[in-house]
Amino acid sequence: MFQIIALITSICGVLTFYLCHKNQRIFARPLPQKMKVLAYTNVILALIAWQQIQSPISAVFIWLMTLMLIFIAIPFFTLFKNAGAKS
């Protein structure tokens, strides 16, 4: 259960970070910078959830790897969105 919670909060946190950036390609305008507080909160909650099921060192490692994977994957998903719109 905590794995799903950790994964969902990680995705929400990273997605919010991405959507607050001026170079994001999902919305016409980026989200307000105040939303970064929500992103930070989600990312910290994900770390806490990972620590509930793993030892602290492995929880931090899994947390960082998950965040890196999501940060890498989000821009590629926008490519699929734009490719479908051009057809």
Terminal Cα-to-Cα distance of the chain (whole angstroms): 40
Give residue 38's pLDDT: 96
CB-CB contact of 78 with 27 (8 Å) = no
Cα gap 80→84, rounded to integer Å:
6
Q: For 7-23, write each residue's pLDDT tens digit.
A: 999 999 999 999 999 98
86 vs 1, residue with greater confidence: 1
